[in-house]
Chain A
């Protein structure tokens, strides 16, 4: 894995911040740094990478994954989660704070950093907004930020207490990036199992109305406006929510938003035979919602695409739909799944922005560009490789994905980070 002197031959650069964007060049990396970029570089390297159709972009960054560690190590732990990230081409992952116990203080932040230290993926914990995710009082945000929390969220709990969100926005304003808020009015969404629509009606399942998302979104944007604080919206899922975001932009309410890859690919029709692998939060909504989300990514109203990697063990998926837990794993297959959307107008460049550059901007983190002198945090990939995703590709301890056996387009070939190189056999 350790390789300090690497030459990548004939790589196409996909990086809007690089002077070499869209060019096919050789890249020489030594001691954790990009030393030289150019055509036909003649350098002595320990490792020469010469792969067909190789592309290079700033290392991919997942804005939201749950590694269930501590608490549910039978589903995932930091190590298996990291391997899933590597397979998917990610050099950095922001961890959702809803572990058990949840990420409440300095000690938990330090635990994550210590455990992930020797791996080539930067595992970056987010902290809780409220103590124990109870929605009652603020957690020690400043202390956690000092210890390395990259941001704050309440995971997928609705912050019903508007006064508490107001405090969190104001309190974090001076030191933390915009808090990540999941919009889901919990009384309207109560006991909901899937998107409310004709399909949920036909299945007799209680629906999660898009209204629950929209009402909460409107409220949260108003709070952000009042506090003059930026806000990040997690997991946009409905067409109307996209409309609200557009209006918020016009009204100059500073915000950003992300969408989970599965909401870009699937609709509520997938649950027709009660396949709990499609039970996710936010729920998969209608085809018109899905199309609006894809368009919002293309137009830049949604800035980031996340894996929303949520491992669930088979015992909690192979059961009655109402008993099944929400969640789908996503790290390993996300890029290949997004490749399927290229025929809907989602360009490769846009995908790379949404999974590499924008997520770092959302968290106010520096973005490595592919230029001489920059530090080397890179993803190597083939965007056109068509391959079938199989169970053996899954590195996660949990296999809760409906993609097994599906054809995907595009695959990570390897990552370079922290002076380490990992190449994936394809």
Chain B
């Protein structure tokens, strides 16, 4: 039986192409499961998973929780607002306290880049990164690539543009790594102020024209404008942003091909994406959400197998 090369899911950076393909093939099976009348399998029975969220999240947390429940794991939710973090407890202490209560896996979202990697080196548990600052959001990238694969069969040679706030986006970074590992060509597009100066060093092309990017690509992944991460005003107004980088039906109808539109959610209708586009057949936004559960089930299952949790005597 094949297994993952890693013991944690900290970032796409650490995964091999065959890891990603293994996750996809496993997700295929779980996608069947969640579309059956009985959506639950006993794979992770008797395994306890904590969802540690030091930053607000609704959909990622729900998606993980659902994935855990579909696998019959016991789940525990912890969010920063009600935590002891504000009382000055260290991350290591917080997690070790939880682990002492016989918790097997940790799904963590944290505002600081590298927090998941740091934790994996300092506590004895399996860590799944559910987003660490502007670093990585590996399950999002996996579900994005999986959704492209579902629509286009193969990612090899596909052209994908990521549009928006690249500077503050963990989704962009994980997507870049994941798509490149699967053989896709990646471009980033957005206002000059929101494109990191050294992004080309990651092997991506840079564009500042939405029209040109859409004409070039097979898939456009429209990122949400992350006001909460911006300590400066990177563009003068939402109005100006959407004039330049908001996708509308007009854009799509002018193309001589049909492209796929994605969005990691939550969408700001009328800002980076118009309602017509979001609700159109171009969009696979809701497929992404559905696939998110299957992908997270696959990740949890494969890591539990790798760490021999679900093969108890």
Residues of A within 8 A of B (CB): 190-191, 196-198, 200-206, 209, 273-274, 315, 318-323
- Chain A hits for B136, CB < 8 A: 204
| A204-B134, A204-B173 known; A320-B115 Cβ under 8 A | yes
| A318-B92, A320-B91, A320-B110 known; A203-B135 Cβ under 8 A | yes
Beta-carbon contact of A201 and B118 below 8 Å:
no
A sample of 5 more A-B contacts (CB under 8 A), given A320-B110, A322-B113, is A197-B201, A202-B173, A204-B170, A205-B133, A322-B112
User: Nearest-CB distance from A102 to chain B (Å)?
Assistant: 25
Beta-carbon contact of B198 and A318 below 8 Å:
no
- Chain A hits for B199, CB < 8 A: 201
- Docked pose: A203 CA to B201 CA in angstroms: 13
Q: How large is the interface on B (under 10, 10 to 19, 20 to 34, 35 or more residues)?
A: 20 to 34
B29 interface hit (Cβ, 8 Å): no
Beta-carbon contact of B13 and A202 below 8 Å:
yes
Partner of A204, one of B90, B132, B198: B132
Beta-carbon contact of B198 and A319 below 8 Å:
no
Number of A-B pairs whose CB atoms are under 8 Å? 70
- Chain B hits for A318, CB < 8 A: 90, 92, 122
- Docked pose: A322 CA to B115 CA in angstroms: 9
| A321-B114, A322-B133 known; A198-B231 Cβ under 8 A | no
Beta-carbon contact of A274 and B92 below 8 Å:
no
B202 interface hit (Cβ, 8 Å): yes
| A320-B91, A320-B112 known; A274-B197 Cβ under 8 A | no
Partner of B113, one of A190, A196, A204: A204
Beta-carbon contact of A190 and B112 below 8 Å:
no
- Docked pose: A206 CA to B121 CA in angstroms: 22
Contact mask for chain B residues 182-211; partner A; CB cutoff 8 A; 1 contact, 0 none: 000000000000001111011000000000
User: Nearest-CB distance from B226 to chain A (Å)?
Assistant: 13
Beta-carbon contact of A198 and B114 below 8 Å:
no
What residue of chain A has the Cβ atom nearest to residue B133's Cβ? A204
Beta-carbon contact of B90 and A319 below 8 Å:
yes
- Docked pose: A269 CA to B112 CA in angstroms: 19
- Chain A hits for B118, CB < 8 A: 274, 319-321
- Docked pose: A191 CA to B173 CA in angstroms: 20
Contact mask for chain B residues 105-137; partner A; CB cutoff 8 A; 1 contact, 0 none: 000001111110110011000000000111110
Partner of A321, one of B90, B113, B122, B197: B113
- Docked pose: A273 CA to B114 CA in angstroms: 8
Which 9 pairs across A and B sit closest by C-beta, in order of nearness? A204-B135, A198-B201, A274-B114, A204-B113, A320-B112, A204-B134, A322-B112, A201-B198, A320-B115
**What are 25 A-B interface contacts by the 8 Å CB criterion?**
A190-B231, A197-B201, A198-B201, A201-B196, A201-B198, A202-B173, A202-B201, A202-B202, A203-B135, A204-B114, A204-B134, A204-B170, A205-B114, A205-B133, A205-B135, A273-B117, A274-B114, A274-B118, A318-B92, A319-B91, A319-B92, A319-B118, A320-B118, A321-B118, A323-B112
What residue of chain B has the Cβ atom nearest to residue A209's Cβ? B197
User: Nearest-CB distance from B268 to chain A (Å)?
Assistant: 22
- Docked pose: A315 CA to B173 CA in angstroms: 30
- Docked pose: A197 CA to B199 CA in angstroms: 9
| A319-B90, A320-B91 known; A203-B198 Cβ under 8 A | no
- Chain A hits for B90, CB < 8 A: 315, 318-319
- Docked pose: A320 CA to B109 CA in angstroms: 13
Contact mask for chain B residues 265-288; partner A; CB cutoff 8 A; 1 contact, 0 none: 000000000000000000000000
- Docked pose: A231 CA to B91 CA in angstroms: 43
Beta-carbon contact of B197 and A196 below 8 Å:
yes
- Chain B hits for A273, CB < 8 A: 114, 117, 121
Interface centre among A201, A315, A322 (most CB of B within 10 A): A201
User: Nearest-CB distance from B116 to chain A (Å)?
Assistant: 10
- Chain B hits for A190, CB < 8 A: 231
- Docked pose: A190 CA to B232 CA in angstroms: 11
Beta-carbon contact of B114 and A201 below 8 Å:
no
- Chain B hits for A202, CB < 8 A: 13, 173, 201-202
- Docked pose: A315 CA to B91 CA in angstroms: 11
- Docked pose: A125 CA to B112 CA in angstroms: 36
- Docked pose: A201 CA to B188 CA in angstroms: 14
- Docked pose: A375 CA to B114 CA in angstroms: 53
What residue of chain A has the Cβ atom nearest to residue B121's Cβ? A273
- Docked pose: A1 CA to B231 CA in angstroms: 56
- Docked pose: A320 CA to B117 CA in angstroms: 9
User: Nearest-CB distance from B193 to chain A (Å)?
Assistant: 14
- Chain B hits for A191, CB < 8 A: 231
- Docked pose: A32 CA to B91 CA in angstroms: 53
Beta-carbon contact of B113 and A198 below 8 Å:
no
What residue of chain B has the Cβ atom nearest to residue A319's Cβ? B90
| A196-B197, A319-B90, A321-B118 known; A201-B202 Cβ under 8 A | yes
